[in-house]
Structure 1
């Protein structure tokens, strides 16, 4: 629960400090500029708010690891949702408007998460999770998108180490195997989710695990 707030606050702070010109730079998401990624975060915040006010008495059907649908095909960035995101992000015209909307909805999502009962069951996308598992899953979401944000912005601070370590462990649960200890958390997350190809040295230590990668999460 604490890591959700910590990782989300760090990501929003990184966006808040971006100069206007950085919103037009590429992000780590195929086909998306930074502004498109930031708009996606607005939608994520909205989803968190909606889910936290959708309680259910039904038993959990997923946890923080099984929350994710996994495929081996990286997104091409040309799907209908991707195109809609690009159009809506462009409609803001000025980065300050996008910053404001993320701060407004993002702050509300953070407050709602802090007030939620971690054992409460909530429904999202036809599945049921405890609030604790739902927010834990979002630590991985925030951490990966923080890495996407800084993919071409080397001077922007990255995700907190605690968030990266937790996100790595959760990705290892999804993979069903640990990443080699010689890989940094960032490398494990980027390579493991197909955000970049492994280097020759990384492929060597990954060995047979490469057959399970990438883990494309949605």
Structure 2
């Protein structure tokens, strides 16, 4: 629960500090500018708020690992929801409005998470999880998108180290494999999710695991 709050606060602070000119630069998400990514974060914050006030009485069906699934192909940007995000982001016009909306909804999502009972069962996407597992799953979301935010913005601080470590651990459980200890947490996340291609030297170290990459999270 604390790690959710720290990673979410760090991501929101990074967005709040962005000069307006940075919103038109590419992000680490294929086909999305920084403004599109930030708009997606607004939707994510809304999802967190909705889920935390959607209690479930049925048995738990998923945890932080099984919340995520692995798809076969990387997103192309042609998905209708992805296209909608781009149109919504463009409609803001002034980056200050987009930053304000993320700060407003994002702060509310953060407060809701702080107040949530970790053992409470919640429902989302036809899954039932404890609030603690749901928020743990979102540490991965925040950390990967923080890496996406700073992919082409060298002056912006990246995600907290503890978020990188926890996300690596969760990603290894999702993929059912451990990455070599010689890989940094950030390199694991970038290479494993297809955000960058492994170098020849990294391919040699990865061995047979290379053929399984990237892990496309759904």
The TM-score with structure 1 as length reference comes to 0.99
How far 1:58 sits from its partner (Å)? 0.9
Matching residue of 1:157 = 157
Matching residue of 2:22 = 22
How far 1:100 sits from its partner (Å)? 0.2
- Aligned partners of 2:69 and 2:174 also within 8 Å: no
- What stretches of structure 1 of length at least 5 have no aligned partner? none
**Equivalent residues in 2 for 1:125-204, closer than 5 Å:** 125-204=125-204
- Aligned partners of 1:72 and 1:213 also within 8 Å: no
Q: Aligned with 2:198: secondary structure? A: coil
User: Structure 1 residue runs of 4+, over 2 Å off?
Assistant: none
Q: Aligned with 1:91: secondary structure? A: helix
Matching residue of 1:124 = 124
Q: Which moved more, 1:204-213 or 1:130-139?
A: 204-213
Report the count of equivalent residues: 218
Whole-angstrom distance in 1 between the partners of 2:169 and 2:79: 30
Matching residue of 1:54 = 54
Q: RMSD over aligned Cα, in angstroms?
A: 0.6
Q: Is 2:40 the partner of 1:36?
A: no
Q: Aligned with 2:122: secondary structure? A: strand
- Aligned partners of 2:42 and 2:105 also within 8 Å: yes
- Aligned partners of 2:64 and 2:133 also within 8 Å: yes
- Aligned partners of 2:15 and 2:99 also within 8 Å: yes
Whole-angstrom distance in 2 between the partners of 1:178 and 1:100: 39
1:150-173 CA-to-partner distances (Å, cap 9, x unmatched) read 011111100000000000000000
Matching residue of 1:9 = 9
Whole-angstrom distance in 1 between the partners of 2:72 and 2:190: 14
The TM-score with structure 2 as length reference comes to 0.99
- What stretches of structure 2 of length at least 5 have no aligned partner? none
